[in-house]
Structure 1
Amino acid sequence: MKKGTIILFIFILIKIILQYLVVNPIYELHRDEFLHLDQAKHLAWGYHSVPPVTSWISWLILQLGNSYFWVKFFPALFGALTILIVWKTIETLKGSLYACILAATALTFSALVRINILYQPNSLDILCWTLLFFTLIKFIHTQNYKWLYFMTISFAIGFLNKYNITFFLLGILPALLLSKQRNLFLKPQFYGAILFAALLISPNLIWQFQNDFPVFKHLKELNDTQLVHVERMDFVKEQIFFFLGSIFILLAAFVSFFIYKPFKQYQLLFWAYVFTIVIFIFLKAKAYYTIGLYPIFFAFGAIYLSELLQQGWKKYLRYVAIAIILLLFLPMLKVSLPLRTPEKYAEAAKLHRPFSEHKWEDGKIHPISQDFADMLGWKELASKTDSVYNTITDKKHVMILCDNYGQAGAINYYTKIKGLKADAFTADYVNWLDLTKEIKTVVRIKTVDNLSNTRDLSLFGGIKEVAKIESQFARERGTRIILLSDPKIDLAKLLRQERAAGRLE
């Protein structure tokens, strides 16, 4: 086995193991992970918030036992494969082993660690962006049109995983027009590849059409509740912090497209980056939507730096470059990764230490990261719901109704009671409701923000608050568990009517 192959294998192993080590055992699964895991039980060509690929992976996780290990394995694997693609890009560009090691180090010890701890579409999204760039580079390098079809396959997988990759097209098309590759627009193979991509993603497009395009409704919800709080300057600043320890490699990459002769033919990648960033800024997108743009540029930057630092005293700077990456990764461990307990982060916030205060989607500042708060309190919720459920005699006519998908998914994941199922009127759960049986008792999970809304409570003769989520730093802190009995009307019939009318929200 070649030396480079052994080193690559070591990086992949380090990457996967690292993803398990950077999460303190006090944290549970994340709110979004529960939704994705529940989708495995309801396979379809699309969902309210995401395309279908995540559900397919969730189905595989379910077959493997649905354990914490497998939930966390796949984002770690996608992160490792991103490193593999960048490594292979460097080999394609005839870069040195040092360039491979430098790029792999930069990616292993970067913001990707934070992204790859969560089972969300983001990890595969970044991999697909990187794979798209790789196939484009292979096409430019070989002028073999088969790589256009590999590009379409990469795009289709990415599109069926997360619609975010569509912005790659919006950025790359004007970049192509500015490059020598513009003659592609005159080639039938180019349009054949586009038709092939359309064919691959068509099942999801048909599903969207049949369901009145829920993706647009989801985008509106994002804009109204989350993106409205995004500041464009914050977006720009966060681009710097994603790869702060290795930003010099990215800068070297951008410079190399203009002054390093072997890379001038790949200049369109730089313009694709510029156009895509501008689009994201204009749309006030979340900063992390752009992360898929960056990994491929580490290949170019690492090669260019390895050429600059190969003779005389400059050879020693090769070691300095790797040391800088590792040293600047250490603060990230303390600040942005869930290594410490919530109490430690809250203590740092009280002392106003740098980067210790966090802006959530509500636009307010909180003592711990929203992601970390979304990883607390779920086991408590499931345990208390189980206890309430066990007190009910007639279990055949019970409905467990939650305010959000995190609550429903967490109960479904952590429950110890076989057959227990929680529902919600949000996201995809509204389509998964079983309304064929009479509902006599409702275990109502109600967030603090929704306590003033008593319409649902007015439908019952018996109302009893039986439990509350106490976890101090959980986003669900204060959530009530209310036992509702003696319904005044036929609830199943009412819900069937409201669902048919599209009023279950």
Structure 2
Amino acid sequence: MRSGRPSARATRQVGPPDVAPTAGTVARLPLLALAAAAVVLHVVVNRVSVYGLHRDELLYLAMGRHLRFWGMDFPPGIAVLAETTRALLGDTDGALRAGPALAHAALVLLAGLLASALRGGRGAQLLAAVAVLASPLFLRAGHLFQPLVFDQLWWTLALLALVHIGRAASEGVDPARPSSDASWTTPGGRRRRLAWSARSGQWLSHATASPWMLLGLAGGLGLLTKFSILFLGAAVAAALVVGPLRRSLLTVRPWLALAVALLVGAPSIVGQLRLGWPVLGQMRELRGTQLVHVGALDFLGGQLLLGPAVLLAVLGVWTLLAARWTRGARTAGLACAFAFALLLALRGKAYYVAPVYPLLFAAGAVALEQGTRGWRLRRSGAAPRLRIAGALIVAYGLVTLPVALPMLPPAATARWAATLGVDAATRTNTGQSLALPQDFADMLGWPELAATVAEAYAALPDSARADVAVLAGNYGQAGALEFYGPRVGLPPVVSPAGSYWFFGPGDRVADPVLTVGVPEAALRGRCTRVVPLGVVRHADTRWLVPEERDVPLFLCEGPNPSLRASWRTLKSE
């Protein structure tokens, strides 16, 4: 009796056997063009923007200067990238933001690849990529040197791997056992292998049949970037338990992927162990100061800032969880749903769930193109549907662009934000309303801060300047003084705020102490004498966040106890 499986004689051919189409043909050139457009957009905005570095960017640059790869309170990946970027490209705004711009471009490409993996054609791939390119969520994240855009990248890569795992399983492919019967040598001398699909009776490319290690690698890179990858880890674990891939947990592959993730992300875990799990304190502070202002309606309402693309995402969720043709991607869809539910239950910020959207956009785009079970669409009408959806998404992106990227001066941005009337776009982490988006306000005033502190430092007697320590009240002030301070003659800065506390009190005698942004009441009882030195001067304080508008400067003479002796107690203040 003849078997339905090709014989071993197929190994002597010089090209691959006929392969059943398991995904849409990737629209390489258009996707690369859209990715390049993302990079160009960020470069142009950096050139024309009147804004400077963000307070968080200043902190991450400082973490690079104080890099301790195996002993940081924060995942060290962003600190390594900061030092690498500075060494290769310099420390201009555009150079430091090159990495995030490239990460945004990679997200655009991955959205197209996700649509292809879901059997989407050229139109679906381009729509998914355009949705990521034009979304305010991804535009803002891709512009700032922060872990956020890299976190989005690793989540998306992990979900792509999960889609490929599910698709291979639904085709009856064993990813760990490529058939030697289906190997051949290309004219260029490279060895190729295929895996046999018992379900479809076709050969499938083995390159897409073994993504478990990619899933582990993405998880490990996520651990090096941001601990929020643990939310995805929990969601993927739940999806594997209840979804169609639960039998895979009886094999070694998921556990090898977990081992890879822990191995790659080990520096973040070791740092927490060495420092006494500071992430727990950071989470308590976050919940007490910021997340307390976020409710379920705020989280859900924040998703509407996606504009028309949110409808595409909703269609994508339904498609991944209910459509027959996406059965192979069911586990990835469940992971997205579980991650959303988990962040909603924990009262996370609306943008925390952004990394699931590239997959949802891709699924929604493919549904628009192909239709779904129970919702028959004429294939002849696919192109108009995709064009209309793309036009709406692009139009919304253009309208919101001035509040997504810092491309207009503050006054013009404030007028545009007021015209849009979207209060959530200008609300701070603590629930206050500003004229500008908080990210924009946090990019203003730092050079002026450093210049005013430098003037106060220069006015001190020579004897005081030799021993004085500059102490900043928050990490934004500390980061600004550390970045701009050497250019204006300031000594090294110290701060008990956040990650800066772990950097220590410095090597100076610290008598006197020049304090920046520390209230006078906090110095009384700690200093023999407190001398007011004025406030930081700004040409226009309207656009700054409230805590940076009237920053006081004091000279603490005769600190008792000394800064070094009191450093441990300052951590809790």
Structure 2 length-normalised TM: 0.80
* 2:50 equivalent to 1:50: no
Alignment map for 1:243-392 (pairs within 5 Å): 244-257=307-320, 260-308=323-371, 311-313=379-381, 315-347=383-415, 353-355=421-423, 358-392=426-460
Q: In the TM superposition, what are the counterparts of 1:37-116 in structure 2 within 5 Å? A: 37-45=61-69, 50-63=74-87, 64-111=89-136, 112-116=138-142
Classify 1:28/1:47 alpha carbon distance in 2 versus 1 (closer, same or farther; 3 Å): farther
In structure 1, the gaps of 5 or more residues are: none
User: Residues 381-434 of structure 1, C-alpha deviation per residue, up to 9 Å, x if partnerless?
Assistant: 012122223333243312111101100111221231367322211112223235
- Paired amino acid for 1:256: T
Alignment equivalent of 2:158, drawn from 129, 132, 144: 132
Q: Which moved more, 1:344-353 or 1:152-161?
A: 344-353
Matching of residues 167-186 of structure 1 within 5 Å: 167-186=231-250
Query: Could you say which residue in structure 2 is the equivalent of 1:19?
Result: 42
1:402 pairs, out of 453, 472, 478, with: 472
1:459 aligns with 2:527: yes
Q: 1:47 to 1:286 in 2, by over 3 A?
A: farther
CA deviation after TM superposition for structure 1 residue 58, in Å: 0.6
Helix, strand or coil for the counterpart of 1:254?
Answer: helix
- 1:35 aligns to 2:59 (yes or no): yes
1:448-489 Cα distance to aligned partner (Å, 9 max, x none): xx3443337x5143613244233412124433352526x335
Could you tell me how far 1:197 is from its partner in structure 2?
A: 2.4
Query: Cα distance, 1:267 vs. partner?
Result: 1.7
Report the secondary structure of 1:368's partner residue: coil
**Paired residues of 1:460 and 1:484 also in contact (CA < 8 A):** no
Contact 1:438 1:490 in 2 (8 A): no
Per mean C-alpha deviation after superposition, the further-off stretch among 104-113 and 366-375 is 366-375
Alpha carbons 2:75, 2:267 under 8 Å: kept: no
Bigger Cα displacement from structure 2, 349-358 vs 128-137: 349-358
Conserved? CA contact 1:495–1:504, under 8 Å: no
Question: How many Å separate the matches in 2 of 1:207 and 1:311?
Answer: 54
Once the two structures are overlaid, the 10-residue window that deviates more, 260-269 or 6-15, is 260-269
Q: How far is the alpha carbon of 1:210 from its aligned partner?
A: 1.6
1:78 touches 1:127 (CA, 8 Å); kept in 2? yes
Q: State the SS of the aligned residue for 1:484.
A: strand
Alignment-mate amino acid for residue 102 of structure 1: L
What SS does the aligned partner of 1:180 have? coil
What letter is aligned with 2:160?
F
**Structure 1 position 134, deviation (Å):** 0.9
Change (3 A) 1:46 1:124: farther
Contact 2:454/2:489 (<8 A) preserved: no
**Equivalent residue letter for 2:166:** I
Aligned to 1:152: 216
Bigger radius of gyration: 2
Q: Percent identity among equivalent residues?
A: 25
Match of 1:202 among 248, 258, 266: 266
The residue identity in structure 2 corresponding to 1:302 is A
Match of 1:495 in 2: 563
Match 1:427 to one of 492, 498, 501: 498
The farther-off stretch of 316-325 and 140-149 is: 140-149
- Give, in whole Å, the separation in 2 of the partners of 1:380 and 1:446: 14
Instruction: Please report the TM-score for the alignment, with normalisation by the length of structure 1.
Output: 0.90
Q: Which amino acid is 2:472 matched to? A: C
* More divergent stretch after superposition (28-37 vs 91-100): 91-100
Contact 2:97 2:145 in 1 (8 A): yes
Equivalent in the alignment of 2:207: none
CA distance in 2, matches of 1:400, 1:360: 28
The letter of the residue matching 1:75 is P
List runs of 5+ in structure 2 lacking aligned partners: 1-24, 169-173, 177-209, 372-376
Q: Is residue 410–residue 436 contact of structure 2 (8 Å, CA) maintained in 1?
A: yes
SS in structure 2 of the partner of residue 27 of structure 1: coil
Given that 2:313 and 2:361 are in contact with CA atoms closer than 8 Å, whether structure 1 keeps it comes out as yes
Q: Quote the offset at 1:165 in angstroms.
A: 0.9
Equivalenced residue count is 497
Cα RMSD after superposing both structures: 2.7
**Aligned mates of 2:360, 2:418 — CA distance in 1:** 38
1:474 maps to 544
What is the CA–CA distance in structure 2 between the aligned matches of 1:463 and 1:21, rounded to whole Å? Answer: 46
Deviation at 1:7, TM superposition (A): 1.7
- Shift of residue 97 of structure 1? 1.6
- The answer as to whether partners of 1:49 and 1:214 remain within 8 angstroms in 2 is yes
Give the structure 1 partner of residue 295 of structure 2: 231
Give the distance between the partners of 2:385 and 2:418, measured in 1 at CA: 40
Q: Deviations over 1:264-322 (max 9, x none)?
A: 22122222222211111111111111101111222222222222477445533332222
CA contact (8 A) 1:306 1:318 kept: yes
Q: Which amino acid aligns with 1:82?
A: L
What's 2:182 paired with?
Answer: none
How far did residue 343 of structure 1 move?
2.4
